Amino acid sequence: MRTSRFVVAGALALAAVPALAQIPPLQFPAASPKASVTQVVGMTEVGVRWSRPTVNGRKVWGGLVPYGEVWRTGADENTTLSFSSPVTVGGKTLPAGTYGLHTIPGEKEWTVILSTQAKAWGSYSYDPKEDVVRFVATPREGPHEERLLFTLAEPTDRSVAITLAWEKLRLSFPVEVDTKAVVLASLKEQLRGLPRFGWQAWSGAAAWCVRNDTALEQAEEWVDRSIRMNRNFTNQATKADLLEKKGDVKGAAELRAKALALATEAEVNQYGYQLLGQKKVDEAIRAFEKNVKDHPASWNVWDSLAEAQALAGDAKRAIGNYEKALSLTEDEEQKTRIRGVLAKLKK
């Protein structure tokens, strides 16, 4: 009887312990921790994900990383590059997506490879049939970098440089984006959604095209639709800019005059600053003068006119109009700012 009691007690104790398969493993710091970096180029997000091995006193190039062999360009899973829109890499245009990055290091030249396979462990299953592009890049020397580092350097609205840095080596190659095409496609997609029911979206899309000198025929369709929905200063001013861009200077001037007749104080003021941004100072002054005539009790219109006159080098008139703005405003911060501007103009 005593033996059977021990057997039963032991069985109960074992039953209380979860099966080993259900016990999660302990977590420890990774030898090559994961990292990622992203950069928006225009409207396109460019990203790199990789694991970061260390030098740790080892000979890296021609040793830990052999020359002439395909390398995962990191540790553990292969490094990946991702693009939210089509891009050009190594002279080839690639669709949006995620690509496996492999390289073949050499003493003087490297081969850079982008593969459709982005979920492999290292380069052990690498298959050249899955390459989407191969190109050559030249390494250069740089400061010591203990852990493998990727950066997205020198970003513009059309490109960014993907740069690898490890040990004393740097390798860089550009990613280029046709940002105008990406934005235009995005606008077309957005205009199929809820924004299509407001005149603002059609006018805004057309204005972007005009500013960027692209798809002007499409822009004309969009701005005309906006005007049909709600004729106002903003969309007529956009149409005037479009006419000027297409060479109809007379038609543009006539339409601007009609548009200004509909404009609010804030719209004229914004338009004046838009003209200043385009270096059309004389036209901006005329717009601000109209605002002064229509809204003489507003300190802001006098302030804006004075700013434009100062830019034109007409300090005398600028001083007079800044003083008028100062006499009208009750905002202490604005008073302090205007006094500071006047002090500089009177020197």
- Tell me how many degrees the CA angle 263-266-271 measures, rounded to the nearest 5: 70
* pLDDT at residue number 315: 93
In tens, the pLDDT along 154-164 reads 999 999 999 99
247 and 231 inside one domain: yes
* Farthest CA pair distance, the chain: 115
Question: Residue 16 pLDDT > 70, yes or no?
Answer: no
The residue type of 2 is: R
Q: Domain of 88?
A: 34-176
208 and 305 inside one domain: no
Residue 19 lies in a domain: no
Q: How many domains does the chain have?
A: 3
H/E segment holding residue 35? strand 34-41
* pLDDT at residue number 217: 97
188 and 162 inside one domain: no
146 beta partners: none
What is the band of 221 on the pLDDT scale with cuts at 50, 70, 90?
very high
For 251, counting Cβ atoms within 10 Å of its Cβ (0-12 exposed, 13-18 middle, 19+ buried), the class is middle
163 and 192 inside one domain: no
Pair 281, 312: CB distance under 8 Å? yes
Question: Which one, of 257, 252, 228, lies nearest residue 241 by Cα?
Answer: 252
210 and 325 inside one domain: no
152, 176, 200 — which closes off a domain?
Answer: 176
61 and 172 inside one domain: yes
67 and 170 inside one domain: yes
List the strands of the sheet with 110-115, edge to edge. Answer: 34-41, 44-51, 79-83, 97-104, 110-115, 131-137
In tens, the pLDDT along 101-128 reads 999 999 999 999 999 999 999 899 999 9
Write phi, then psi, for 132 (nearest 5 degrees): -105, -25
Q: What is the CATH number of the domain that holds 225?
A: 1.25.40
For 40, counting Cβ atoms within 10 Å of its Cβ (0-12 exposed, 13-18 middle, 19+ buried), the class is middle
Question: Residue 11 pLDDT > 60, yes or no?
Answer: no
d(CA 17, CA 11): 10
Count of CB atoms situated within 10 Å of the CB of 289 = 17
In sequence order, what DSSP letters do the residues of 118-153 get, joined into one string?
Answer: -S-BTTTT--GGGEEEEEEE--EEEEEEEEEEEEEE
* pLDDT at residue number 22: 86
Residue 18 lies in a domain: no
163 and 182 inside one domain: no
Write the CA distances from 100 to 47, 88, 119, 156, 317, integer angstroms: 12, 16, 7, 24, 64
**Alpha helical stretches, state H, the chain:** 2-15, 179-190, 199-211, 216-229, 233-245, 249-262, 265-277, 281-294, 299-311, 315-328, 332-345
146, 176, 206 — which closes off a domain?
Answer: 176
111, 146, 176 — which closes off a domain?
Answer: 176
Question: Residue 8 pLDDT > 70, yes or no?
Answer: no
Q: What is the CATH number of the domain that holds 286?
A: 1.25.40.10
Residue 269 lies in a domain: no
Residue 81 lies in a domain: yes
In sequence order, what DSSP letters do the residues of 308-338 get, joined into one string?
Answer: HHHHTT-HHHHHHHHHHHHHH---HHHHHHH
Specify the DSSP class assigned to residue 71. Answer: B
d(CA 52, CA 299): 59
Question: Residue 135 pLDDT > 70, yes or no?
Answer: yes
Q: HEC states along 171-195?
A: EEEEEECCHHHHHHHHHHHHCCCHH
d(CA 82, CA 188): 23
d(CA 307, CA 202): 32
Residue 219 lies in a domain: yes
Residue 85 lies in a domain: yes
183 and 63 inside one domain: no
258 beta partners: none
pLDDT (mean) for 220-247: 96
89 and 57 inside one domain: yes
In tens, the pLDDT along 153-203 reads 999 999 999 999 999 999 999 999 999 999 999 999 999 999 999 999 999
148 and 42 inside one domain: yes
